[in-house]
């Protein structure tokens, strides 16, 4: 059987621990037998990031700008324990954070739905995509532990030396302070990515903040979204038959819980962090959640929404059997291959991505699955398999 040709390579970012093991299995069993796979390879495993002083992460992000589409394996963001475990030169930053900053992208996370893995929210019938603004706010916050009585002020000093001051609080004892920021440039990029992705996927777009309380900070988000929608996207949304809808964050949560799904929910950074985990858990499993970073400049980076599955990796190193769910990692590959096919007008490549996703879902719906899904499925008499045999079962279905 002749393999599907690729004209433009994907940027391939390898990763860490158990997901790195699955990465190779997926390529060997599900991709290379069918595709003349062309990738520009970057090893983002923690050991190589350390060896290159993290330069490899920057190089991978720049390559994504060059080629337009990347697929990324889960990676370790080191903490103090990892510093000792890997004998690191320093505590390297999150690769995802570095790549997001360089590509100026928004992260869209969508649950993968299959029969037998039912949402805990009974009204949900369709996936809910969370669009998280992955810049600023509390994640770039500056904090002070206030030792005692005193005055706290918020001060902005312009380049010409003029100042704007606001009293935060008159402390009569110990307390805490936090300062956070965002930029109009980043908010505009977020808004455009959300509107573009809604048009790409033909889904309604919801956006929510707390502008009634945060009359300058959150209200700026609201105003920028509305301004860009009215000026650049309103006519396109109406032509596509989709809607842009703004409401308060607490009202949005109430509406989401009673909705049937099938839309994109755009969230500020912290809201998106929390709500993406809530949505993924309520739909079944974080291992059944796709993630794509979309840049307003037309760059796409696909990955699984979960981590490196450290506990399973340690079992694997001991020679013990694991039953690790590889679905989200498979869908990272299919998402990247489909987008590459769309951008290159390579219909065969896009069709293969669809076929591999169907084979994966059919395998689960017919009762073969990893242990995590077996614990929550409503299907009876399921066949629980190990990590490798799950991928082999998909390969058999694919062939």
Mark the binding-site residues for Mn(2+), compressed into ranges.
250, 273
DSSP conformational letter for 4: B
Q: Which two tokens stand for residue 64?
A: 């994504």
Quickly list DSSP for 14-42: E--HHHHHHHHHHIIIIITTTB---EEEE
Q: Which long-range contacts (CB under 8 A, 24 or more apart) does 230-237 make?
A: 232/192, 232/195, 233/195, 233/199, 236/199, 237/195, 237/198, 237/199
Per-residue burial over 364-378, b = 16 or more CB atoms within 10 Å of its CB, e = otherwise: beeebbbbbbbeebe
CA distances (Å), origin 93, targets 88, 101, 106: 12, 12, 18
Other CB atoms within 10 Å distance of the CB of residue 109 = 24
Report the alpha-carbon distance of residue 49 to residue 42 in Å, rounded. Answer: 10
Q: Which residues are annotated binding-site positions?
A: 75-77, 82, 94-100, 109, 132, 250, 258, 273, 307-312, 325
- Closest CA relative to residue 363, chosen from 323, 393, 330: 393
> Residues forming the annotated binding site for NADP(+)?
75-77, 82, 258, 307-312, 325
Residue list, annotated binding site for D-threo-isocitrate: 77, 94-100, 109, 132
**390/22 Cα distance (integer angstroms):** 11
Spatial CB neighbours of 313, under 8 Å, sequence gap ≥ 6: 17, 18, 21
CB neighbour list of residue 399: distance below 8 Å, 6 or more residues apart: none
């Amino acid at each position: 059987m002749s393999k599907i040709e690729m004209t433009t390579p994907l940027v391939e970012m390898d990763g860490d621990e158990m997901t790195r093991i699955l990465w190779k299995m997926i390529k060997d069993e599900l991709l290379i037998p069918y595709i003349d796979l062309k990738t520009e390879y970057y090893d983002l495993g923690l050991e190589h990031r350390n060896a290159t002083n993290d330069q490899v992460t920057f190089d991978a992000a720049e390559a994504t700008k060059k080629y337009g589409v990347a697929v990324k394996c889960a990676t370790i963001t080191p903490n103090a324990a990892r510093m000792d475990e890997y004998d690191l030169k320093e505590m390297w930053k999150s690769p995802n954070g570095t790549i997001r900053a360089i590509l100026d992208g928004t992260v869209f996370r969508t649950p993968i739905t299959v029969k037998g893995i039912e949402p805990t929210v009974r009204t949900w019938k369709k996936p809910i995509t969370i669009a998280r603004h992955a810049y600023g706010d509390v994640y770039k916050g500056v904090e002070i532990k206030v030792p005692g009585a005193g005055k706290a002020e918020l001060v902005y000093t312009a380049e010409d030396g003029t100042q704007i001051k606001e009293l935060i609080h008159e402390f009569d004892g110990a307390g805490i302070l936090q300062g956070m920021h965002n930029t109009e440039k980043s908010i505009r990029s977020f808004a455009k990515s959300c509107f573009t992705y809604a048009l790409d996927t033909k889904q309604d777009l919801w956006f929510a903040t707390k502008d009634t309380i945060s009359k300058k900070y959150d209200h700026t988000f609201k105003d920028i979204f509305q301004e860009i929608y009215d000026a650049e996207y309103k006519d396109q949304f109406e032509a596509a038959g989709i809607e842009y809808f703004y409401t308060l964050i607490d009202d949005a949560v109430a509406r989401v819980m009673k909705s049937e799904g099938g839309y994109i929910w755009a969230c500020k950074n912290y809201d998106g962090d929390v709500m993406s985990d809530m949505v993924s858990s309520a739909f079944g499993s974080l291992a059944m959640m796709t993630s794509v970073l979309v840049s307003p400049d037309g760059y796409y980076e696909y990955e699984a929404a979960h981590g490196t599955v450290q506990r399973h990796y340690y079992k694997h190193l001991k020679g013990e059997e694991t039953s690790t769910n590889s679905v989200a990692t498979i869908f990272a590959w299919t998402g990247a291959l489909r987008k590459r096919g769309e951008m290159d007008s390579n219909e065969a490549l896009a069709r293969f991505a669809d076929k591999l996703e169907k084979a994966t879902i059919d395998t689960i719906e017919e009762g073969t699955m990893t242990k995590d899904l077996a614990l929550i499925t409503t299907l009876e008499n399921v066949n629980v398999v190990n990590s490798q045999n799950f991928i082999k079962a998909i390969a058999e279905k694919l062939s």
